[in-house]
Structure formats: structure tokens, C-alpha cells
Amino acid sequence: MTIARYVVQMSFLSIPAAIIFSCFYYYRKKNLVALGVHSSLLREFSLVIYVMLIAGIVALKLRPVYYCEKSSGVWGNIILLVDRPTAGILVNLVPFGSIRDIHEWIKWGTANLHDIAINVFGNFAVFVPVGYFTSALFYEATLARTAIVSGGLAILCEIGQYFLMRYASIDNVLINLLGAVCGYWLYLLSDHIFPKIACKLRCEIVKKEKE
């Protein structure tokens, strides 16, 4: 599967999520003003990207996998669900067990290096912005909080994959966490190099003048 197809699959849920979230902009702005807090346009745009990212990850990881076939009839060519891929082990709870499997596949010449690279790099890369935005958009960013949020999302997705008859692995969670941690480090670096931009990504407390 190419990166373009991954992006298309993510867009099925990320675009509607962005539209729904944007519909609450004025409601959120009114509440923030009442609390004496200001959210810049840069932060609002970043929040939309954050929501799209989370929704896209959910759409990608929790997409059911079916074997399909085309059938012609009164309704034209339609896709019928034929069977679910139940063969093989659907869960791996042994850390780094997937690495051992990949080594065996390479050893026996049955590995698809392209798919393996996209799967490993994709699981890592998609959680880098999750770690970054989780740290940058909210006050008191800590590595522990970033790990809890990102790890929780990764674990919930893997649990969902298991019940959707997809392969669930603790290694995917570890790779996701590694990506999120790198995102947190990227936030620390950007906060140090571009402090003004980093401040605009967080809510600002508006000082009310005394009457």
C-alpha cells in the first residue's frame, strides 16, 4: 500500500472531523472570552490539524479488513463481504516479537521489505505530530503526559484492531510511543528556537482592566 492510499483512507474521517470541530469555533471562542482566555488563529488552525490527525489515525488503524468480490445484478456491480481474514495469529503481546518475525521473513526470503518499511516508518511518523501538538497546544507540557495521551490512543487502536480481526501488536504501541516522544523533543527544540511562535500555540490569559 502506498503512502497516498494511507492519506486517502485517513481523509475519510479526518475531513468530517475537521468540519465538525470548526462548527464549534464561535461557541468555543465565546467560552474562552468568558474565561478571560484568548486563542490565536495559529492555535485554532493547529487544533484543527490535531483533530484531523487523531481522526485520521483512528480511521487508518480501525478500518475493517475484508475479502471482497464484485457481483453484477439488478444493482450493478456491488462489493459483497465474503470472509474475514481469521487465519494466523491476530495478536502479539511479546515486546519486539515483530522484529523477530521480520528477521525470520528476511532469512527465508519471504519478506516484503517495502511493506515492512512503510508499516514501521508509518507507525513512527504518524505519532510524531501527535506528540508535538499534545505538548505544544496545552500548558505544562510534560513527557509523561504526552506519553499517556499518545500511548492511550495507540493502545485503544490496537485493542480495536484485535476485535476487527486485524493484527494487533505491542510493538506497534512501542513504535507509536517512540514517535510521540520524538514529537515531544521536537516541541522542546521549537520552544527554545522559536519561543514567540510556541507562545501563540497556547492560550493566552487576557488581563482585564479594572473599572
Range name among 34-38, 79-83, 158-162, 185-189 with the lowest pLDDT average:
79-83
Most confident range (mean pLDDT) of 88-97, 106-115, 158-167 is 158-167
pLDDT at 99: 74
Place of cell 475493517: 64
What is the rounded average pLDDT of the residues 163-190?
92
Nearest-angstrom CA–CA distance, 117 and 90:
20
Q: Residue 65's pLDDT band (boundaries 50, 70, 90)?
A: low
Per the CB < 8 A criterion, the answer to whether 45 and 145 are in contact is: no
- DSSP assignment of 65-97 equals --EEEEE-STT-SEEEEEE----S--EE-STTH
pLDDT in tens, 76-99: 454 544 444 544 557 888 888 777
pLDDT at residue 111, as a whole number: 62
β-bridge partners, 68: 81
Judge whether residue 75 has pLDDT over 60.
no
From the centroid of its chain, how far is CA 184?
15
> At residue 130, does pLDDT exceed 90?
yes
Q: Greater confidence, 5 or 194?
A: 194
